[in-house]
Amino acid sequence: MSDEYENKSGYQAQSSETIHAQSSEAITGGGSGITPDMDYVRPAELPEQDLYHPHSFIEKWVFCQDAKVIGVQYFLTAVFTGVVGLILSWLMRLQLGFPGLAGFITAEHYYQFVTMHGMIMVVYFLTALFLGGFGNYLIPLMVGARDMVFPYVNMLSFWMFFVAVVVLMASFFVPGGPTGAGWTLYPPQTILEGTPGHGWGILLMLISLSLFVIGFTMGGLNYMITILQARTRGMTLMRMPLTVWGIFTATVLAMLAFPALLVSSIMMTLDKLLGTSFFMPTILKAGEVLEYGGGSPILFQHLFWFFGHPEVYIVALPAFGIVSDLISVHARKNIFGYRMMVWAIVGIGALSFFVWAHHMYVSGMNPWFGFFFASTTLIIAVPTAMKVYNWILTLWRGNIRINTVMLWCLGFIVTFVNGGITGIFLGNVSVDVPLSDTYFVVAHFHMVMGIAPLMVIMGAIYHWFPLVAGKMLDEKLGKWHFWITFLGAYSIYFPMHYLGFIGVPRRYYEMYDSPYMTSGVGLNEFISTAAFIVGAAQLFLVFNIIKTMKTGKKAEQNPWKANSLEWYTSTVPPEHGNFGDRLPVVHRWPYDYNVPGAEQDYLPQTAAPSEVAHTEVEKT
């Protein structure tokens, strides 16, 4: 069946030259003198991609098949949901810090805010932003492809996500309001009377999640296959930027974890609509037995967390990847232990499927299971710590530019280490049980999967904005933005650890006169004030973007002097097709900074070995 390709025009177009059986690796590196074979790269295996160029405004900006436009669409939609999530968190902090000040926030509203804030931030904001936004924009550019392999389905993916967001937002306006069951949606209370939004709210939430999964699957297939099957010549897997590795592994996790979410959503929808009892045990309500009976609520928890834990890494791994690239570029130094970094990403991804029940220590389980899941959880700390050491070793003796991007990266390392260490506390069953329902957990997961990835997102925005918009963001405003956000975020979450230790329970609308509150009141006011300031500080970015678009300095090509392919497009910002007439040919990894003997302090991935024969470039 090898004739599959041979009928396609353009295939093997470049293979007419004489080819020698030599891998490109064997001859990279300096010292051996210039030979014609030195720049050899295996001939093209793939035909030129057959791109469909848009013919109208709608095809160009609305139902667009260009991954870069889709990336921006994903980004903007996700940011919109993120703003909604931010406002909800403000309302919650208003209630917690100053109870009774805003009279319109009832207990029911508070639960709805908690639920919607959690779900929006985790799924619709962070996941969509990293994979849909950065994934779509960066994958084809970084691996040297003209577009995703199946642009039409990629377009559908965004619009499915868009519909999912519309359905989710619609739940704010239906009778009963959005669901208030907590973002984990644990049955049986989720769909029973007494929980806010137990009618329309939960239904729309489940439908929206199902649509999200379907839409994501369409996009995720594109990300995976573009990385696996459509790289440019010379771009081996071990020459890909770590950003691509992070997004790739996260996509694999998503493709295997979202099915559990889809299944649990379908089953709960049936429980709600048809009165099945998948998750519903026999329930007594006001002395009467409900229609439900015989189901297992624990089953839902297993399905949910089989999705939910990999979900943490779906958010974290792209952040790990992106931050590695940013640190390397702005410290002008190759990433320390590239292969180790790749295997750590893959290892964390694989392990993340064996730890889900650490979210369920308090649900009750056989002690041996707790033992097992505590062990796997703590093992994940090993590859994660490796990554942190490697980031620090990359910085060590680097030629560090203390610009906005670097500040966000350093902020990430600090918050991530902080959140990671509290994770070691919570991974142990006996420590987790007393801390489980307290603010300690809130502090932990906001540090590790809220603030830390957010720092990376901000750094990535400042880093790639010149590529997307062709203008440089203002550094001064950027630094104000960073310092207020960083110090403010610490002011919010650091005291929460203490609140957790004194036993303040999470998800409570008000503490009333409980003994916790003697030392908690002032702290809560402080946290809330910080939260308002940090949220408002994000306006620095909005203002910065507006100002830059109006009066900003035009970005030169490759302003950061980076090596990876996205900076070597034919135009800035890149147009449809990315690379002009000829796709780039890759000869090295993207981390050749400050190579001894080289004229500049960076060697682009496209620099051929003969150009750098006099340098001491390492074999990559």
Partner 1 sequence: MSDPKIEGFELEKGFKGMAQDTGSDQTMFKGVHWGKAMMWIFLLSDTFVFSCFLIAYMKGRASTPEEWPNPSEVFALDAFGVPVPLLLIALMTFVLITSSGTMALAVKYGYERNRKMCGYLILATALGGLTFVGMQAYEWSKLIHEGVRPWENPFGAAQFGSFFFMITGFHGTHVSIGVIFLFIYCYKVFAGHYDEGKRGWFTKMKGDYVEVEILGLYWHFVDLVWVFIFAFFYLW
Q: Using the rule CB under 8 A, is 14 a contact of partner 1?
A: no
Pick the binder of partner 1 from 94, 163, 256, 346 (CB under 8 A). Answer: 256
Shortest distance in whole angstroms from residue 334 CB to partner 1:
20
| DSSP reduced 3-state for 509 | coil
Which amino acid is present at 107?
A
230 or 449: CB nearest partner 1 = 230
Span from 87-95, 124-132, 274-282, 392-400 in contact with partner 1 (CB under 8 A): 274-282
Shortest distance in whole angstroms from residue 73 CB to partner 1:
19
Span from 46-54, 317-325, 357-365, 518-526 in contact with partner 1 (CB under 8 A): 46-54
22 or 375: CB nearest partner 1 = 22
Q: Using the rule CB under 8 A, is 42 a contact of partner 1?
A: yes
Pick the binder of partner 1 from 73, 277, 324, 404 (CB under 8 A). Answer: 277
Q: Using the rule CB under 8 A, is 221 a contact of partner 1?
A: yes
Span from 72-80, 233-241, 330-338, 568-576 in contact with partner 1 (CB under 8 A): 233-241
15 or 557: CB nearest partner 1 = 15
Q: Using the rule CB under 8 A, is 45 a contact of partner 1?
A: yes
Burial environment of residue 581 by CB neighbours within 10 A (0 to 12, 13 to 18, 19 or more):
exposed
Shortest distance in whole angstroms from residue 374 CB to partner 1:
23
**How does DSSP classify residue 610?**
G
The 3-class secondary structure across 347-389, one letter per residue, is HHHHHHHHCHHHHHHHHCCCHHHHHHHHHHHHHHHHHHHHHHH
Alpha helices in 100-146 (DSSP H): 107-119, 136-143
Partners of 554 in the β-ladder:
471
Pick the binder of partner 1 from 237, 392, 539, 542 (CB under 8 A). Answer: 237
CB 502 within 8 A of CB 520: yes
- The span from the CA of 605 to the CA of 567, in Å, is 10
Q: Using the rule CB under 8 A, is 120 a contact of partner 1?
A: no
8 or 476: CB nearest partner 1 = 8
Q: Using the rule CB under 8 A, is 164 a contact of partner 1?
A: no
17 or 288: CB nearest partner 1 = 17
- The span from the CA of 75 to the CA of 81, in Å, is 10
149 or 460: CB nearest partner 1 = 149
Q: Using the rule CB under 8 A, is 67 a contact of partner 1?
A: no
Shortest distance in whole angstroms from residue 571 CB to partner 1:
24
CB 356 within 8 A of CB 300: no
**Count of beta carbons in the 10 Å neighbourhood of residue 487:** 15
CB 156 within 8 A of CB 218: yes
Shortest distance in whole angstroms from residue 217 CB to partner 1:
6
Token digits for 323? 């931050």
Closest CA to 82 of 116, 132, 124: 124
Shortest distance in whole angstroms from residue 247 CB to partner 1:
15
Q: Residues in contact with partner 1, total (CB under 8 A)?
A: 71
Partners of 289 in the β-ladder:
284
By DSSP bridging, strand 288-289 and strand 284-285 are antiparallel
Token digits for 101? 């000040």
**Site string (563-592) toward partner 1, x via CB under 8 A:** -----------------------x------
Q: Using the rule CB under 8 A, is 225 a contact of partner 1?
A: yes
CB 530 within 8 A of CB 89: no
Partners of 602 in the β-ladder:
593
271 or 592: CB nearest partner 1 = 271
68 or 233: CB nearest partner 1 = 233
- The span from the CA of 71 to the CA of 82, in Å, is 16
Residues 291-330 that bind partner 1 (CB under 8 A): 291, 293-296, 299, 302-303, 306
Q: Using the rule CB under 8 A, is 10 a contact of partner 1?
A: no
Shortest distance in whole angstroms from residue 169 CB to partner 1:
27
Q: Using the rule CB under 8 A, is 4 a contact of partner 1?
A: yes
Q: Using the rule CB under 8 A, is 266 a contact of partner 1?
A: yes
Shortest distance in whole angstroms from residue 607 CB to partner 1:
16
Shortest distance in whole angstroms from residue 444 CB to partner 1:
28
Angle value at C-alpha 250, between 602 and 571, nearest 5 degrees: 40
Span from 68-76, 184-192, 289-297, 458-466 in contact with partner 1 (CB under 8 A): 289-297
Span from 119-127, 132-140, 276-284, 606-614 in contact with partner 1 (CB under 8 A): 276-284
**Site string (186-215) toward partner 1, x via CB under 8 A:** ------------------------------
CB 188 within 8 A of CB 110: no
Q: Using the rule CB under 8 A, is 364 a contact of partner 1?
A: no
Shortest distance in whole angstroms from residue 59 CB to partner 1:
10
Q: Using the rule CB under 8 A, is 20 a contact of partner 1?
A: yes
Angle value at C-alpha 59, between 56 and 61, nearest 5 degrees: 100
Closest CA to 240 of 339, 330, 113: 339
CB 274 within 8 A of CB 214: no
Pick the binder of partner 1 from 99, 199, 259, 559 (CB under 8 A). Answer: 259
Q: Using the rule CB under 8 A, is 26 a contact of partner 1?
A: no
CA 242 to chain centre: 14
Residues 68-107 that bind partner 1 (CB under 8 A): none
Burial environment of residue 2 by CB neighbours within 10 A (0 to 12, 13 to 18, 19 or more):
exposed
Closest CA to 398 of 456, 459, 328, 341: 328
Shortest distance in whole angstroms from residue 279 CB to partner 1:
9
Pick the binder of partner 1 from 10, 275, 573, 580 (CB under 8 A). Answer: 275
- The span from the CA of 339 to the CA of 337, in Å, is 6
Shortest distance in whole angstroms from residue 291 CB to partner 1:
7
CB 562 within 8 A of CB 580: no
- Sequence-distant (6+) residues with CB within 8 A of 490 are 415
Q: Using the rule CB under 8 A, is 247 a contact of partner 1?
A: no
- The span from the CA of 433 to the CA of 40, in Å, is 60
Pick the binder of partner 1 from 26, 32, 107, 152 (CB under 8 A). Answer: 152
Span from 11-19, 32-40, 176-184, 556-564 in contact with partner 1 (CB under 8 A): 11-19
Pick the binder of partner 1 from 93, 146, 231, 444 (CB under 8 A). Answer: 231
CA atoms within 13 A of residue 30's CA, in its CB half-sphere: 13
Closest CA to 65 of 151, 124, 181, 190: 151
